[in-house]
Structure 1
Amino acid sequence: MAAKDRMAVLSAMMDQSVIPVFYHPDVELCKDVIQACANGGAKCVEFTNRGDFAADVFFQVTKYFAKADPSVIMGVGSICDAPTAGIYIANGAKFVVGPLLNADVAKVCNRRGIPYSPGCGSATEIGDAQELGVEIVKVFPGSSVGGPEFVKSVMGPMPWTRIMPTGGVEPTEESLRKWFGAGIVACGVGSNLITKKLLDAKDFKGIEENVRQTIALVKRIKAELAGK
């Protein structure tokens, strides 16, 4: 069964470590891509709120997986305001991610027991997010705010911080080793993982293999870092 409560979802996100980030207006294509991610070991998927009627696409996809594969944990990204967060939560979102920190979104998510990962770009914003009950902070845009060095700088005085960067994370050993070595607990990866080439070719097996290899790579890196 799918993880339903806040703590179980947070645990699943950190265990998975790589969160595929994806949006497409075609419902059937979304189903195929998300199933490919799940088959590859990424049960937690962030569907970004972009484009006209994105909430309707999300609703149809989430309703489908509730029956077809309840182990899939659908989250939503690009959430900037509380009303939009409420719509997606009502439509089945199990976690909410945003490019910025919004206290009203935090309140809605806390009230409903939904993990909220707002985008933060400074130690002050990260502290403000934690004050609002955020467990996993999204660093965004990851490469623009200082990359792994920014994470290291934050983790020094704030070692309790759980960070999930999006933007600037590549599914390569070099990139992932730098980020996880800096202390992140998870990362969001979009077009570098679910590439345009694979999407255009509708190569869902290719997407599945990309996801599987990346998750295996991260698990190995994390095990090696833990052994040091």
Structure 2
Amino acid sequence: MNALEIIGLSGLVPVCVIQDAADAVPTAKALLQGEIGVMEITMRTEAGIDSIRNVAQQCPEMLVGAGTVLTLDKCKESVEAGARFIVSPGFNEKIVDWCVKHQIPITPGCVTPTEIEGALAYGIRTVKFFPANIYGGIKACKALYGPYQSAGVSFIPTGGIDQSNLREYVDQPYIHAVGGGWLCNTKDVVNHRFDAIGQTAGEAVDLLLGFTVESCTLAEKEAGAIDAFKQKVSQIFHLSVEENQIAGSVIHEPGQSEQGQLVIRTHQINRTLYYLHKRGLITQDTFEKIYPCRDKSCLLADHVIDKTTIKLIQPAQL
């Protein structure tokens, strides 16, 4: 799986401004604690290159890239330090040409048809849309997608996006992922509030996936076993038992077959498969077998919770 595919499955790209390279690894670990395995370290500070190097060497499970790359020299320096993808705020042909020739994933900033066609000429179909809030937001992305849909264009909008409008973007088929500094607040980094960074990341992932219980039928179980089942589902899907998100959907029917079924509604099945694999519910073999899922539902037949199979569904309009 290449870097761009991982970014798309992650759905979230924290834009990290790090002023002290010693803070890079704790920041990366905080994001990983919140289940985000991608980070874009900007070149806005002198610590940018060393920060990338530290994360690449000490936190290999993190997909680290360089952002705000303005020159070819800085691009080369970033890659040498360990950056696995490059992000530029605009379409810099020298940077794009070098990255394409050296097979380095790059998402150049493109907000006009001319810039998009420049990217397409290099075989680049996923571009950065920045600053999204200034250039028309999701409406502009939709309008630009229209003539370029057949070319497979998708966007990574950044700027003016946070938890309040995240869903407006990520539910659209032309949005590859979303980025932003709100996922990695600079003040939190400076003040070493890494727990806060992890919490924000985790909340964003839960919002991204949008798990709800559509239905649940259980084989005959004792009351204690049902409670244990609810707790396991709550832990895996980050659903609150106290709010009856699970309890209100559980049906206990004596005499049922040996296996029940839990139906989970999610905003995007393939992203869900990616995150459930990271959470350990889906093995690598199973993930490779069922990904990508091209339907609006997916039965995880090989994985059960207390003799209860799991079925994922997503809204038909997506």
Does residue 19 of the first structure (1) align with residue 13 of the second (2)?
yes
By how many angstroms is 1:63 displaced? 2.2
CA distance in 1, matches of 2:23, 2:168: 33
SS of 1:46's equivalent in the other structure is: strand
CA distance in 2, matches of 1:156, 1:137: 15
Q: Which structure has the highest strand share of the two?
A: 2
- Higher relative CO (Cα under 8 Å, sequence separation at least 6) belongs to 1
* Most deviating of 18-27 and 54-63: 54-63
Alignment match of 2:193 (pick from 186, 190, 203):
203
Contact kept, 8 Å, 1:20 with 1:44, in 2: the verdict is yes
Does residue 54 of the first structure (1) align with residue 44 of the second (2)?
no
CA distance in 2, matches of 1:75, 1:158: 26
Which runs of no fewer than 5 residues in structure 1 stay unpaired?
1-6
Look up the equivalent residue of 1:119 and give its one-letter code: G
SS of 1:126's equivalent in the other structure is: helix
Using structure 2 for the length normalisation, give the TM-score. Answer: 0.63
Contact kept, 8 Å, 2:18 with 2:186, in 1: the verdict is no
CA distance in 1, matches of 2:97, 2:315: 35
Look up the equivalent residue of 1:35 and give its one-letter code: K
SS of 2:128's equivalent in the other structure is: strand
> Could you say if the C-alpha distance between residues 196 and 101 of structure 1 is closer, same or farther in structure 2, counting changes exceeding 3 Å?
closer
Contact kept, 8 Å, 2:41 with 2:51, in 1: the verdict is no
> Could you say if the C-alpha distance between residues 22 and 196 of structure 1 is closer, same or farther in structure 2, counting changes exceeding 3 Å?
closer
Alignment match of 1:164 (pick from 141, 156, 159):
156
Name the counterpart of 1:4: none
CA distance in 2, matches of 1:198, 1:56: 19
Name the counterpart of 2:30: 36
Query: How many residues get paired?
Result: 215
Name the counterpart of 1:146: 136
CA distance in 1, matches of 2:120, 2:24: 33
Does residue 134 of the first structure (1) align with residue 134 of the second (2)?
no
Q: For residues 65-86 of structure 1, what are the alpha-carbon distances to aligned partners after superposition, in whole Å with 9 as ceiling and x for unaligned?
A: 2xxxx21111000012222111
Using structure 1 for the length normalisation, give the TM-score. Answer: 0.86
> Could you say if the C-alpha distance between residues 219 and 105 of structure 1 is closer, same or farther in structure 2, counting changes exceeding 3 Å?
same
Name the counterpart of 1:89: 79
Q: Which structure has the highest helix share of the two?
A: 1
Name the counterpart of 1:119: 109
Please tell me the root mean square deviation across aligned C-alpha atoms, in Å.
1.9
By how many angstroms is 1:28 displaced? 2.2
Look up the equivalent residue of 1:15 and give its one-letter code: L
SS of 2:159's equivalent in the other structure is: coil
CA distance in 1, matches of 2:314, 2:159: 23
Name the counterpart of 1:185: 176
Name the counterpart of 2:204: 214
